[in-house]
Structure 1
Amino acid sequence: MNSISSAIVAFGVALGGFFIGNGIIQFKKLDRVVEVKGLSERIVDSNEARWSLTVNAASDNMMDLNKKTIEIQAATLAFLEAQGFSKEEIQKDAGNITDKEAQEYGERKGARFVYRGGFVVTSKKIDKLVLASQKTDELLSKGVALSSSRISYFFTDLNSIKPKMLEESTKNAKAAAQSFAVNAGAKVGDIKNASQGLFSIGSPINDYDSETSLKKKVRVVSQVVFYLE
């Protein structure tokens, strides 16, 4: 009886293993998938610009420096408003004053107190902003020492092109899946799941000049899993 029972148990285990094994095989056949990536790129024009101006003043007397600071800030603000920028587009940068005698290293050269500050203009009127940046000699004629002037460009209207780019990246992913399926002797079925990659906005040429480039390259990579039939 023990031998018969053992044989029955062994047969049951073997039979169960057969069905389980075949079940796994069938499951794998039914769940055949291919995972691919689809790319979409687009060259667009920047729709917003930021102009950063840095001004400075120096004096051996703090009271005199404060007077100079107020004067150059007023002159710079008047210049920017005269170029057609609104108060909402102009932001005064936080300035700072350095006392060279308070520094414990080196030999002091020039005036003791140095002010450095400026303004930032953010506008969608890019042509007007670029034109204004070419007139900074007017500031110099008013006694404003301009130490730097820099324009950065941005594309902020991503939502207007996002749906089409996602559609294109998915379409390209399906084309890649179909190419694989032909070689595998299968057909591409429905999408099992998909994940949208992050959108990146940079320069069409070099990443290091992404902010100074007026043209922008928008890029997204979608990862899609298709069923194979």
Structure 2
Amino acid sequence: MNKNIIAIAVASAGFIIGLAFLGNAIKNRNKADNTISVTGLGSKKFTSDLISWTGNFSRNSFELKSAYDQLAEDRKVIEKYMVSQGIPKKDIVFSAVDIQKQFNYNNNADGGSSQTFAGYQLSQSIALQSKDVAKIENLSRNITEIINLGIEFTSAAPNYFYTKLADVKQEMIADATKDAKERAEKIAENAGADLGDLKKATMGVIQITAPNSNEDYSYGGTYNTTSKEKEASITIKLEYVVD
């Protein structure tokens, strides 16, 4: 009899303790759910202050030395032209010479194929990087002047950058945080609650696109370099306790 009473008492105590743990868990769960999460946006438009541009020129010849000498002469002409356009010589960077053998491929009457040597193609590139965006832009658009000098020259589209991006990012973070907090305050007000302490803040990656474009954002961040005018944006996610 005593053993049965003791067993019942132990079981009852265990049941009561279990209810206490369950009640505390529910209470903590409800407390954890008593939060709101909001996302704020910060954005800013700006104009690039750094431009990068490259061009390429080449020569073809059956004689390697002849092609190299012609390319060297072209390099002098290009450098002289760049300096005449106000480009400091120290800002002009020429790459190493690239040498490629060229071949002509022919189909034989028996169904086979053969190749014949067609000479050497030597090419070299020139790169400019400057904060004088307008000057380099104008240079890249009027590159036909170099072609008119008898040089086989191709121009790439310029790339645009901004050197004060860190300052822009700080401003956007402040704006995004303010926007998120205002959203949280409005939600709490409409719910008849008080906004409590900030529990967590998560910052997204910076996205830089051309203004009014349909460029896609990427998980690791987007950086448009083809547009001189840019628009940057960043998101901040805040989680608050609601009292």
- TM-score interval, smaller chain: 0.7 to 0.9
Q: TM-score, normalised by structure 1?
A: 0.86
* 1:30 match: 31
How far is the alpha carbon of 1:184 from its aligned partner?
4.2
How far is the alpha carbon of 1:43 from its aligned partner?
1.1
Taking a change above 3 Å as real, the CA distance of residues 44 and 150 of structure 1, as seen in their structure-2 partners, is: same
The letter for the 1-side match of 2:71 is T
2:190 is equivalent to residue 176 of structure 1 = no
Rounded Cα–Cα distance in structure 1 between residues aligned with 2:129 and 2:190: 53
Q: What is the CA deviation profile of residues 123-159 of structure 1, one whole-angstrom value per residue up to 9, with x for unaligned ones?
A: 1110111122244233223322112342111223111
2:144 is equivalent to residue 144 of structure 1 = no
* 2:9 match: 8
2:69 is equivalent to residue 67 of structure 1 = yes
* 2:219 match: none
CA RMSD of aligned residues (A): 2.8
Q: Please state whether the residue corresponding to 1:207 is helix, strand or coil.
A: coil
Is residue 40–residue 220 contact of structure 1 (8 Å, CA) maintained in 2? yes
Q: Please state whether the residue corresponding to 1:85 is helix, strand or coil.
A: coil
Is residue 200–residue 238 contact of structure 2 (8 Å, CA) maintained in 1? yes
- Aligned match for 2:54, one of 48, 52, 70: 52
2:196 is equivalent to residue 214 of structure 1 = no
Is residue 48–residue 156 contact of structure 1 (8 Å, CA) maintained in 2? yes
Is residue 155–residue 216 contact of structure 1 (8 Å, CA) maintained in 2? no
* 1:164 match: 171
Taking a change above 3 Å as real, the CA distance of residues 148 and 177 of structure 1, as seen in their structure-2 partners, is: same
Tell which deviates more after alignment, 129-138 or 214-223. Answer: 129-138
Q: TM-score, normalised by structure 2?
A: 0.82
2:215 is equivalent to residue 201 of structure 1 = no
> Please, which runs of 5 or more residues in structure 2 have no aligned partner?
108-112, 217-222
Taking a change above 3 Å as real, the CA distance of residues 103 and 191 of structure 1, as seen in their structure-2 partners, is: farther
The letter for the 2-side match of 1:52 is T
Rounded Cα–Cα distance in structure 1 between residues aligned with 2:57 and 2:177: 50
The letter for the 2-side match of 1:207 is E
Is residue 203–residue 236 contact of structure 2 (8 Å, CA) maintained in 1? yes
Number of aligned residue pairs: 229
Is residue 200–residue 239 contact of structure 2 (8 Å, CA) maintained in 1? yes
* 1:123 match: 130
Q: Please state whether the residue corresponding to 2:128 is helix, strand or coil.
A: strand
The letter for the 2-side match of 1:164 is E
Report sequence identity in percent.
Answer: 23
Q: What is the CA deviation profile of residues 29-69 of structure 1, one whole-angstrom value per residue up to 9, with x for unaligned ones?
A: 43322222211121111111111111121122211101011
Is residue 199–residue 218 contact of structure 1 (8 Å, CA) maintained in 2? yes
Taking a change above 3 Å as real, the CA distance of residues 160 and 102 of structure 1, as seen in their structure-2 partners, is: same
